[in-house]
Amino acid sequence: MAIQTLIDLFIQIFIMIGVGYFLRRRGVVDSQIKSGINKLLLQVVLPFNILASANRAYSAEVSQSLLVTAVFSAVYYLASILGGILIGRAVRLEGSRRKVFVTMTAFANVGFLGLPLTEALFGGEGVLIAVIYNLFYNVLFYTFAVNYLGKEGRVSIWEVLKNPVAVVSLAAVVIYLSPFRFPEAVAGAFSSIGAAMTPLSMITVGCSLAEVDVLQVVRNKYAYLVSALRLAVYPLAAFAVLRLFQVEGLTAAVCVMLTGMPSATTNVIASEQYGCAPEFATEAVVQGMIFMIVTLPLLMMLVGNWV
């Protein structure tokens, strides 16, 4: 991908984030409107975009990319969870803060942020690869992470099944591997709805940044460790491993980018639900979003020659 293309895309993304920040600061978008936009994204726009990405001609090369992504995702989550536990102990985080640290470092915002950015940078084929990565996120977050943070110690398969993005992601893989394809008119409608994914998601990111006390966010030293792992250490390790196994092209670029996303907002929701250091989770998520504005362009320049 040409550097000028990357620069143009990131300028567009920053403008969208800036619009969201301005609208929230001026009160045009309040918390209720923002919540409604988030629901629209997660329950309508993202699912339609995912379905549209599956409505393409079958390719053995793409199918191999999906398999490579599945293997990479499984190894990544195993390594990042284990790494989070060991690092949390090494820095002597205690109790609920250590638990949140583990989930914050392992589970990135691959759905709400990752899918729109993949669409903007790599198009529909990139989204299909990101869908596989996102499937592993959904299954492991709503089983391992909820069990790890929660007091009742239950594995919640039901939460996976209630998540429309997870269900549609699985459906998209099945559709792509099958002979079935949507009629052109239906696929066009899906694509048109899904086209709202990037601007809406970036506007809500800007709204979130306008709601926080930046000084409080930058004072949290453990949040810096979360940001360093999520935005630098893990994606660079992913880059090195993929190079080692000679995995390049679109598959590698998407995997590295998704591994470099900031911590997922679902970590905040779960930590609030179980009373597990929600302030720490919130500050780490926001800090990661702020730093991502700098780290993501640098990361994409690193993998830009792959696509």
Rounded to 5 degrees, φ, ψ at 260 are -95, 15
Residue 82 has pLDDT above 80, yes or no: yes
Query: Does residue 154 have a pLDDT over 60?
Result: no
What pLDDT score does 306 carry?
Answer: 78
Task: Count the residues in the chain.
Answer: 307
Helices 278-303 & 95-106 angle (0-180, nearest 10): 20
292: Cα separation from own chain's centroid: 12
* Model confidence band, residue 217 (pLDDT cutoffs 50, 70, 90): confident
**238 sits in which H/E element:** helix 234-244
The residue behind tokens 């994409």 is 300
What's the whole-number mean pLDDT along residues 145-153?
74
pLDDT of residue 66: 94
Mean predicted confidence (pLDDT) in 19-26: 94
Q: What pLDDT, on a 0 to 100 scale, did the predictor assign at position 244?
A: 95
End-to-end CA distance of the chain: 5
pLDDT at 152 over 60: no
Strand pairing partners for 108? 263
Q: Which percentage of the chain shows pLDDT scores above 90?
A: 50
Least reliable range by pLDDT among 15-19, 193-197, 213-217: 213-217
* Inside any domain, residue 139: yes
In this prediction, residues 142-167 reach a mean pLDDT of 74
Q: Is the pLDDT of residue 118 over 80?
A: yes
Q: Are 256 and 303 in contact (CB under 8 A)?
A: yes
Greater confidence, 146 or 90?
A: 90
Look at residue 157 in the predicted model and tell me its pLDDT.
67
**pLDDT at 74 (0 to 100):** 96
- The helix/strand/coil state of 108 is strand
pLDDT digits 0-9 by tens, 35-78: 899 889 888 998 998 999 898 888 888 999 999 999 999 999 99
Residue 54 lies in a domain: no
Residue 155 has pLDDT above 70, yes or no: no
Q: For residue 1, is pLDDT > 90?
A: no
Domain count across the chain: 1
The per-residue b/e assignment along 9-24, b for 16 or more CB within 10 angstroms, e otherwise, is bbeebeebbebbbebb
Contact 262, 230 (CB under 8 A): yes
Whether residue 228 lies inside any domain: the answer is yes
Q: Which residue(s) pair with 263 in the sheet?
A: 108
**To the nearest 10°, the Cα dihedral for 98, 99, 105, 108?**
-150
In a domain? residue 4: no
pLDDT at 305: 76
pLDDT bucket at 4, cuts 50 / 70 / 90? confident
Domain presence at residue 261: yes
- Look up the domain containing 241 and give its range: 59-183+213-299
**236 in a domain, yes or no?**
yes
pLDDT above 70 as % of the chain: 95
Residues 235-268: tens digit of each pLDDT = 999 999 999 999 989 999 999 999 999 999 888 8
For residue 208, is it within any domain? no
Does residue 39 belong to any structural domain of this protein? Answer: no
Identify the H or E element spanning 98: helix 95-106
Q: 218 versus 166: which is more confidently predicted?
A: 166
Once rounded to an integer, what is the mean pLDDT over residues 89-110?
92
> What value does the mean pLDDT of the chain take?
89
Alpha-carbon distance of 45 to 39, in angstroms, equals 9
Cα–Cα distance for residue pair 150/99, rounded to 1 Å: 10
